[in-house]
């Protein structure tokens, strides 16, 4: 940690003006703290967002000094992955997921249908949230990009705490990893599709097709639920139609933009200020996204199609044709690891049972 010993602690404005802001694509992330306590992680987190750089928060939304340096590892891995050949992933684009030892079995299960697709595996990076996950990642034989994390994340199921003020697991902190990965890769001008470890892939998502449907899009998000199927079919979702509960961050396609960098900084800040241990990253991120620039940024946010399936769709009759054509299945609305694995197994069994029929449909 560097200290600024030459400045006047009472003259914060002078200190802010003296802090350099390196270009976004050719500089490593560096943590710096002045003697007056102003923190930066340039080129990503400038002084006006010093409050984002706290050592730890109950929500996991802060960027610690160690994480600031870890962003370099993420960015370097992303750059290396993006340069490997692929005929199924667009240029300057990667995939990213994360897991600790507790979730590792689930992550590996969810890669089984595409682990032999070199064009996908060349571009997949896995953030390993403890030493055992790193060991398993390197020993997998097919995962090419394993990114170590600065500390071990505890075994984690989603908590519904009653009266708790301190989290007993690292579930919330884990959910913020995708935002931090996307934030890092944006500073290398790399697009990324992030997916949680409870997302089963049946095929490689067609990211070029997704982008082509909405060329202005800077983020494409999974719908948690679809209350009105006809609205979805007509493509008539509006800002008013969506609620925070409709936005799920388990599957996100991020495009680099200055707007999104700013939204993420504000989302990190919102999470830090909250202190609630039962509210996930997607609440703060989607809320910030909707409100930024009086809703102008939200106009560039679009939902993924129903090919990106949600475990929360169980409340309505399922369209069989959509079930056949789905690209992924996210076991959201399943809270424990055993529940998630049960839901994922059912989805995989359906996929295998109807594989020939699916191929005819596609």
C-beta of residue 277 within 8 angstroms of C-beta of residue 172 = yes
pTM (predicted TM-score) = 0.88
List strand residue ranges (DSSP E) for the chain, in order: 3-4, 30-34, 39-42, 93-99, 124-128, 145-148, 191-195, 199-201, 219-223, 247-254, 301-303, 308-310, 328-330
CA geometry: angle 347, 302, 202, nearest 5 deg:
20
CATH of 54-361, one of 3.20.20.70, 2.60.40.10, 3.90.550.10, 3.30.300.130: 3.90.550.10
Pinpoint the residues of the chain covered by CATH 3.90.550.10. Answer: 54-361
121-175 residue pLDDT tens: 999 999 999 999 999 999 999 999 999 999 999 877 876 655 555 667 788 889 9
How far, CA to CA in Å, does 121 sit from each of 88, 111, 345?
A: 10, 10, 22
- Look at residue 359 in the predicted model and tell me its pLDDT: 83
7-34 residue pLDDT tens: 444 444 434 444 444 444 458 999 999 9
At residue 173, φ and ψ (nearest 5 deg) are -60, -35
Which of the two residues, 317 and 180, has the higher pLDDT score? 180
274-301 residue pLDDT tens: 877 778 899 999 999 999 999 999 999 9
């Amino acid at each position: 940690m560097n200290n600024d010993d030459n400045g006047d602690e009472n003259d914060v404005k002078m200190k802010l003006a003296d802090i350099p802001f390196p270009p976004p694509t050719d500089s490593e992330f560096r943590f710096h703290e002045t003697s007056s306590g102003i923190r930066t992680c340039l080129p990503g987190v400038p002084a006006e967002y010093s409050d984002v750089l706290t050592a730890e928060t109950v929500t996991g939304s802060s960027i610690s000094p160690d994480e600031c340096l870890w962003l370099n590892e993420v960015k370097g891995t992303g750059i290396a992955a993006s340069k490997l050949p692929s005929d199924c992933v667009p240029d300057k684009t990667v995939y990213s997921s994360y897991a600790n030892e507790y979730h590792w079995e689930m992550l590996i299960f969810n890669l089984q249908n595409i682990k032999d697709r070199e064009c996908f595996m060349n571009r997949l990076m896995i953030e390993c949230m403890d030493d055992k996950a790193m060991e398993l990642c390197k020993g997998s034989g097919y995962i090419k990009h394993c990114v170590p994390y600065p500390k071990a994340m505890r075994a984690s199921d989603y908590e519904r705490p009653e009266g708790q003020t301190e989290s007993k697991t690292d579930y919330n902190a884990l959910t913020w990893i995708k935002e931090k990965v996307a934030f890092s890769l944006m500073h290398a001008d790399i697009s990324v599709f992030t997916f949680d470890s409870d997302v089963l892939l049946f095929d490689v998502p067609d990211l070029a097709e997704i982008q082509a449907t909405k060329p202005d899009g800077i983020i494409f998000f999974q719908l948690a639920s679809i209350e009105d199927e006809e609205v979805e079919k007509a493509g008539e979702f509006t800002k008013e139609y969506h609620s925070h509960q409709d936005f799920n961050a388990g599957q996100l396609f991020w495009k680099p933009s200055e707007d999104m960098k700013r939204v993420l900084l504000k989302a990190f800040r919102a999470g830090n200020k909250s202190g609630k241990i039962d509210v996930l990253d997607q609440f703060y991120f989607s809320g910030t996204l909707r409100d930024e620039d009086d809703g102008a940024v939200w106009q560039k946010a679009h939902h993924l199609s129903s090919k990106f399936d949600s475990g929360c769709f169980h409340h309505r009759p399922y369209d069989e044709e959509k079930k056949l054509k789905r690209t992924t299945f996210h076991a959201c609305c399943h809270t424990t690891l055993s529940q998630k694995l049960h839901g994922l197994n059912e989805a995989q069994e359906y996929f295998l049972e109807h594989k020939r029929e699916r191929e005819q449909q596609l």
